[in-house]
Structure 1
Amino acid sequence: MQTNYINSLTPMRGIAAIWVMFFHMDVIIFYREFGTLIPHETSGILAKGYLWVDFFFLLSGFIISHVYGETLTHHFGKWKIIKTYLWARFCRIYPLHFFTLLLLIPFALVFPVISAAVVDGSWKTFMAWSALPSHLLLLNSMNQHVYLSWNLVSWSIGAEWWTYFAACFIIPFVFNKSWFKNGILAVVAVIILSFMVYWKGNLDITFDYGWVRCVAEFSLGTVLYQMYMNGLWKSWLSKSILFLFAFAFIVLIFHFSWNDLFILPIFCLLLLTTAYNNGAIKIMLETSIFKYLGDISYSIYMMHGVWFMVFWYCLPYLRSNYGIETLTLGMKVIFVTMFMSLTLLSAHFTYHFIEIKSRKILKKRIKSKQRNLETTV
């Protein structure tokens, strides 16, 4: 298993998580009919923010290849190796996912008692008890229910989990050093994603077939990693100007709301330029603030889903109690400041006390069981 992490990629997770958070803040006030953070007819800079989840999926394929690629390839089909790999991934994603559900369950029980007036039609889907088992079993991206529910962003965690299983076959296939096979896999992935955009109209495919979206983009990430390992186009992709170009192009795609498929090659370019860069961009991304945002990015992503529910059901108070029909600029600033502050503060604590501690406890227990088994045998 690789231990030499590509440090500059971690902060990119933080940037992606923050952008997704802004997307969901805009979703709240738009669908609650309080306006928008930025007018959608003027710019799609926030309305297209869901696409950063696609960057997560590409990055996941790249990083899993980097960390586990050689191991899964050389020990293909060996259950002991696969079990260790899957347990490590489970310890990484499930404790925080489970914790956010534990936070929302009492919210679902208490809030209707406190304020029955704001429990509207969305409550039946967002807080659907029938959907809870699919969340607990990480089946929430497999069309089990025709709506998003509970922690709305956790569909992607379910998609990631089952993609980790698929990776046991995808990665050995990609690591066979055959560019022809890798090219075929990339083409198939793009065709699948193109069909999904044609079918849905965009890549915002979540509770229904989000796992397909994840597997396809994860596969592209594994192919990108092979390009990285072979140093393909490194001499010019390592230039900081290419990173800036890719990031600026992403902003343009979002702003003009171009077809979602345009984002895929640019995200690929951004990922490679970040991984290759050893200059100004690397120095910037590895500053303490960017690094820490990357470290707590999973907590930012998951906890902002919890705060989404809180603000979604609290905002109607402004209309029912104070007759406010739209948010002024000052109100929007307060809303964004509160949402971000609560998310980042809670993410700081969940990172240290849920993510890190639970991983240590779970990994310690499995090692203890393995030692006991070896002693018994």
Structure 2
Amino acid sequence: MSSDVATQSPPVYLTALTTMRGVAALWVVFFHMDVILFYRDFGHLMPLGDSGLVAKGYLWVDFFFLLSGFIIYHIYGGQFSRNVTGRTLVNFIWGRFSRIYPLHLFTLAVLIGFSSLLPLFLPSVVDDSWTLYFDTAALPSNLLLTNAMNQHSYLSWNIVSWSIGAEWWAYMGGMLLLVLLGRRSLVVTSGVMGLAAIFLVGLVYSRAEPTLDITFDRGFFRCLFDFTIGVGLYQFYRRSVAFAWLKKDTVFLGLFLAVVAHFHGNWHDLWIIPLFSMMILALAYNRDLVARCLAWTPLHYLGKISYSVYLMHGVWFMVFWFLLPLWASAPFSPLDRLHFGSAFLGLTLMSAALTYPLIEVRSRRYLRQKFTFPRSSLAKEKI
């Protein structure tokens, strides 16, 4: 294999990473199912005991952030490593805006409609959580994607969209990272990644409970530090660092099992960052059995619609949060949990299968037609 895997023409389509993004999105869905049941006094989704297999699902958001930095360089790194012009910046900003904002705006509009109409028919749903989740004072920060910058003391509207806001502003800082790291040695890159890791540790330990479950308050910084590590990680990928070892199926499987063990054993959250980083490299390098399995059409499709899965499950979170107490009573039997989980998951996947082509893809194509994008940048953006 070439000593610089990222300079091949045409660039490699990293199918396995797309699929793993779908797996990550699904894991976050199960995490939020459990949140609904637990905080609405229905118990847990499954009898977990001391396991964090579901309860630690919020850590997959860090996988998204790391992967985002990695993929942003994969798509745009070549442009930023050359002469950066105003057009380069416009292409980048408009490309990212058209990728994330239309679906975010759609889910926000759906929840505005939901919060306006439901009390007319079921006034009993309005409780303390209603006034927090659907606080009109939080609408501007959701519209401007500043909902991960400590503007409010709670999650609001589509509660998962804080990560979209965090990622959007990380993109703005990411433009500088793409320029600075593009032609640097691995020593400089490692130094930048090390600084990001130190800042991330400081962020975690600045909190009363030292975890990575940082959302509406300082979620932007959580994303920025992860994103920076992801951009740096790509410099290792493009130079094929540890390729001979990480490309092996057994190495990826070992890393994935280590991630599962991390979740199950409730290890400290920060250990997930190196595990996810190595797993991203392993998936990017792999061309054998793991890659073929992850290219299976249903799994790959899940990866393609993962952004819709992620945002739409935030809508269904609100629906079940407020309506489940009206439909059911505690305690939940195993069959009740199965029915709840099947309904939540089924509705999420079906709605995502609709919003992906009708909102996400269609809006992105329409908005990008308003500007002339280099064909190469559009062709690469499949992940």
Q: Does TM, scored on the shorter chain, surpass 0.5?
A: yes
1:316 aligned to which of 322, 325, 328: 325
**Residues 150-189 of structure 1: CA distance to partner in whole angstroms, max 9, x if unpaired?**
0000001001111111111111211122222212111111
CA distance in 2, matches of 1:195, 1:208: 15
Are the counterparts in 1 of residues 160 and 311 from structure 2 also a CA contact under 8 Å? yes
Amino acid at match of 2:365: K
Runs of 5+ consecutive residues of structure 2 not aligned to the other structure: 1-6, 374-383
Range with greater deviation from structure 2 (310-319 or 342-351): 310-319
For residues 51-79 of structure 1, give each alpha carbon's deviation from its aligned partner in whole angstroms, at most 9, with x where no partner exists. Answer: 00000000001100111012122133x22
Displacement after TM superposition at 1:315 (Å): 1.1
Q: Which residue of 1 aligns with 2:339?
A: 334
More displaced, 271-280 or 173-182?
173-182
The one-character-per-residue Cα deviations of 1:286-324 (angstroms, maximum 9, x if unpaired) are: 0101110000000000000000000000111145xxxx2
Q: Which has the higher contact order (CA 8 A, sep 6+)?
A: 2
1:272 aligns with 2:277: no
User: Secondary structure at 1:122's aligned position in 2?
Assistant: helix
* SS of 1:88 mapped into structure 2: helix
Distance 1:230 1:3 in 2: 14
Residue in 2 that maps onto 1:49: 57
1:213 matched residue in structure 2: 222
For 2:244, the equivalent position in structure 1 comes to 235
Residue 21 of structure 2, aligned match among 6, 9, 13: 13
Match of 1:31 among 18, 30, 39: 39
Are the equivalent residues in 2 in contact too, given 1:44–1:254 (CA < 8 A)? yes
Q: Distance in 2 between matches of 1:51 and 1:202?
A: 10
Amino acid at match of 1:184: G
**1:346–1:236 CA distance, 2 compared to 1 (3 A):** same
Q: Shift in Å at residue 112 of structure 1?
A: 1.7
Stretch deviating more after TM superposition (113-122 or 124-133): 113-122
| Count of aligned residue pairs for this structure pair | 363
Structure 1 residue aligned with 2:184, among 158, 177, 180?
A: 177
Q: State the identity %.
A: 47
Partner of 1:67: 75
| Counterpart residue identity of residue 96, structure 2 | R
Q: In structure 2, how many angstroms separate the alpha carbons of the residues matched to 1:283 and 1:4?
A: 15
The range that moved more, 51-60 or 182-191, is: 182-191
* Partner SS state of residue 365, structure 1: coil
Query: 2:47 and 2:195 mapped to 1: Cα distance?
Result: 36
Partner of 1:143: 150
AA in 2 matched with 1:130: A
* Consecutive aligned runs of 4 or more in structure 1 exceeding 6 Å deviation: none
Deviation at 1:114, TM superposition (A): 1.6
What is residue 226 of structure 1 aligned with on the other side? 235
How far did residue 115 of structure 1 move? 1.6
Per-residue CA deviation, residues 85-144 of structure 1 (Å, 9 max, x unaligned), is 110110000000000011000111112222222211111110111001111111111111
Report the Cα distance in structure 2 between the residues aligned to 1:353 and 1:182, rounded to whole angstroms.
Answer: 40
* Contiguous gaps of at least 5 residues in structure 1: 369-377
| 1:362 has 2:367 as partner | yes
- CA 1:40 to 1:193, structure 2 compared with 1: closer, same or farther past 3 Å? farther
- 2:380 aligns with none
Offset at 1:40?
5.0
Distance 2:175 2:81 in 1: 8
**TM-score, length-scaled by structure 1:** 0.94
C-alpha separation in 2, matches of 1:342 and 1:203: 29
Q: Is the 8 A contact 1:196 1:202 kept in 2?
A: no
Higher alpha-carbon deviation: 198-207 or 33-42: 33-42
Match of 2:349 in 1: 344
Deviation at 1:3, TM superposition (A): 5.0
Contact 1:3/1:67 (CA < 8 Å) preserved in 2? no
Compute the displacement of 1:33 (Å). 0.7
| C-alpha contact (below 8 Å) 1:43/1:254 kept by paired residues | yes
Q: How much has 1:43 moved relative to structure 2? A: 0.9
Task: Identify the match of residue 299 of structure 1 among 308, 319, 322.
Answer: 308
The DSSP-based 3-state class of the residue aligned with 1:206 is: coil
State the 1:37 CA deviation.
1.2
Q: Distance in 2 between matches of 1:293 and 1:311?
A: 23
2:255 corresponds to 1:250: no
Match of 1:374 in 2: none
Determine the C-alpha separation between the residues in 2 that align with 1:48 and 1:38: 14
Equivalent position amino acid for 1:109 in 2: S
Report if the CA contact (8 A) 2:305-2:356 is conserved.
yes
Tell me what 1:373 maps to.
Answer: none
CA contact (8 A) 1:197 1:260 kept: no
8 Å CA contact 2:186, 2:236 repeated in 1:
no
- State the SS of the aligned residue for 1:104: helix
